[in-house]
């Protein structure tokens, strides 16, 4: 039986054959939806968004395959260096932001404005997967083994908060908490933290200055800013609702095209898609996402080493956080936080981050029988 032996050295061809082609197909479908929507958003033109998105996707997919082919043990060994490079990049943008007067969250690499905080999410998940790899369930239940995860999450969260980017830091916290949960930390820990948060929020609130309170309030309730986010959500809901079951047809979306949606190519791309393709298009997109979740789940379950299981499920979790936050935001379920829809929204870093995540997920799949030692 195959599982009786460990295969540590696979040939390229063998690896290639093991690529999860279903996942690749789904990724191409999602990106295709994105590019079609960008084409429509530009009024039937590849310029300025669709063409660039296509190039980025092409480059990203090649990167994804390379990442997928690389031995999972490599990734295991590279985890901490990657994590610390991520931290250094965050410190760098913070320092540069101070010099350049203003919140700068990205590093200009020429072809892409790289946001280290997006990549940091992946690094945090990798670091936690590595930390929990080989810990016995008894160890995970002990509090001293949760000190390192806490530090791993808190360091980037602190740096991202300084930017200041509350949305991304909350996402890192959620991804980190998810990893700790997956690794089997006791449930009372989560219940306890939830209670503690609920108690501490009103207390911290007392100590905030008025302008800080104001900022938090605007974050929680953007409708209080009639010129900003609240307006966008109203317009987004009208666009989605008016799409109806069948949609208005490709390139026929009136609301999005009339520029009622200022960020139609990035955060509000889902709105544009469902305005034109209706409920059918929307459910089709959600089904694609469901299949991606299912494949991620399958990869995690079939993987023979803890590192891979945690990593694969963690990447799936990370992807779903983006999806939920973005889509619930544009449908007016949660406050505006400014998160893109991975693979679909226009934007280099989010595309790159998503493809890296899937690359790692595939690597877990290809090397599911490898023996990863601590």
Residues that bind another protein (CB under 8 A): 102, 136-137, 178, 181-184, 225-228, 231, 234-235, 237-245, 254-255, 258-260, 262, 274, 278-279, 282-283, 286, 289-290, 293-294, 297, 300-301, 304-306, 309, 313, 316-317, 320, 323-324, 327-328, 331, 333
What is the nearest approach in angstroms of another protein to the Cβ of residue 232? 10
Tokens describing residue 361: 């997920």
Cβ-based nearer residue to another protein, 82 or 135: 135
Query: How is residue 315 written in tokens?
Result: 């990447």
Nearest residue (CB) to another protein, 51 versus 242: 242
Q: In the complex with another protein, which residue's Cβ is closer, 37 or 155?
A: 37
Q: Is 186 exposed, middle or buried (0-12, 13-18, 19+ CB in 10 A)?
A: middle
> Rounded to the nearest whole angstrom, what is the least distance from the CB of residue 17 to another protein in the complex?
25
Distance CA 146, CA 311 (A): 18
Neighbours of 189 (CB within 10 A): 15
Closest CA to 84 of 132, 128, 124, 134: 124
> To the nearest whole angstrom, how small is the minimum distance from the Cβ of residue 41 to another protein?
14
Report the residue number, 65 or 324, with the smaller CB distance to another protein: 324
To the nearest whole angstrom, how small is the minimum distance from the Cβ of residue 300 to another protein? 6
Taking CB atoms within 8 Å and a gap of at least 24, the contacts of 325-331 are 325/167, 325/171, 326/267, 326/270, 327/270, 329/233, 329/267, 330/233, 330/236, 330/240, 330/267, 330/268, 330/270, 330/271, 331/236, 331/237, 331/240
Is residue 141 within 8 A of residue 193, CB to CB? The reply is no
User: Considering the complex, what minimum distance in angstroms separates the CB of residue 159 from another protein?
Assistant: 22
Question: In sequence order, what are the residues at sequence separation of 6 or more whose Cβ sits closer than 8 angstroms to the Cβ of residue 244?
Answer: 278, 279
Q: Which helix (H) or strand (E) holds 114?
A: strand 113-114
Least distance (Å) from another protein to the CB of residue 262? 5
Q: What sign has the CA pseudo-torsion 6, 12, 18, 23?
A: positive
Q: Closest Cα to residue 364, out of 293, 319, 301? A: 301
Q: Could you tell me the two tokens for 321?
A: 């956080």
Q: How far is the CB of 310 from another protein (least distance, A)?
A: 8
Which residue lies nearer to another protein by CB, 56 or 367? 367
How far from 331 is each of 130, 271, 327, CA to CA, in Å?
A: 36, 8, 6
Q: Which is nearer to another protein, 32 or 186 (CB)?
A: 186
Report helix, strand or coil for 20.
coil
The least CB distance from residue 245 to another protein, in Å, is: 6
Taking the mean position of all CA atoms in its chain, how far away is CA 41? 23
Give the bridge partners for 108, in sequence order: 113
Q: 60 vs 281, which CB is nearer to another protein?
A: 281
Nearer to another protein, 136 or 197 (CB): 136
Query: With respect to another protein, which residue has the nearer C-beta, 51 or 254?
Result: 254
Query: Nearest approach, Cβ of 237 to another protein (angstroms)?
Result: 6
Minimum Å distance from CB 366 to another protein?
19
Token readout for 303 is 């993987």
Q: Which is nearer to another protein, 199 or 301 (CB)?
A: 301
Q: Are 246 and 284 in contact (CB under 8 A)?
A: no
| Alpha-carbon span 323 to 328, nearest angstrom | 8
């Amino acid at each position: 039986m195959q599982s009786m032996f460990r295969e540590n050295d696979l040939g390229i061809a063998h690896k290639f054959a093991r690529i999860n082609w279903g996942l690749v197909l789904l990724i191409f479908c999602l990106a295709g939806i994105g590019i079609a929507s960008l084409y429509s958003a530009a009024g039937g033109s590849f310029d300025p968004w669709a063409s660039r998105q296509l190039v980025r996707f092409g480059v990203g997919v090649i990167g994804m395959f390379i990442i997928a082919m690389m031995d999972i043990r490599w990734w295991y060994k590279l985890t901490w260096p990657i994590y610390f490079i991520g931290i250094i990049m965050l410190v760098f943008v913070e320092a540069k932001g101070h010099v350049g007067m203003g919140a700068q969250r990205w590093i200009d690499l020429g072809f892409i404005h790289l946001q280290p905080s997006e990549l940091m999410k992946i690094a945090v998940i990798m670091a936690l997967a590595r930390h929990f790899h080989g810990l016995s369930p008894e160890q995970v239940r002990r509090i001293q083994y949760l000190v390192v995860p806490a530090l791993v999450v808190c360091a980037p969260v602190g740096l991202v908060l300084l930017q200041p980017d509350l949305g991304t830091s909350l996402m890192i916290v959620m991804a980190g908490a998810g990893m700790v949960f997956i690794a089997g930390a006791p449930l009372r820990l989560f219940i306890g933290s939830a209670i503690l948060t609920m108690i501490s929020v009103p207390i911290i609130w007392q100590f905030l200055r008025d302008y800080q309170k104001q900022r938090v309030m605007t974050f929680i309730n953007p409708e209080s800013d009639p010129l900003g986010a609240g307006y966008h959500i109203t317009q987004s809901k009208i666009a989605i609702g008016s799409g109806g079951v069948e949609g208005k047809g490709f390139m026929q979306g009136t609301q999005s095209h009339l520029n009622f949606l200022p960020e139609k190519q990035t955060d509000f791309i889902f709105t544009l898609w469902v305005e034109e393709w209706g409920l059918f298009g929307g459910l089709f997109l959600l089904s694609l996402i469901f299949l991606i979740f299912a494949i991620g789940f399958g990869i995690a379950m079939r993987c023979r080493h803890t590192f891979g299981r945690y990593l694969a499920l963690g990447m799936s979790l990370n992807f779903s956080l983006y999806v939920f936050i973005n889509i619930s935001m544009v449908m007016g379920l949660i406050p505006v936080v400014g998160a893109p829809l991975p693979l679909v929204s226009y934007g280099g870093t989010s595309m790159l981050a998503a493809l890296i995540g899937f690359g790692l997920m595939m690597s877990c799949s290809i090397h599911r029988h490898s023996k990863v030692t601590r």
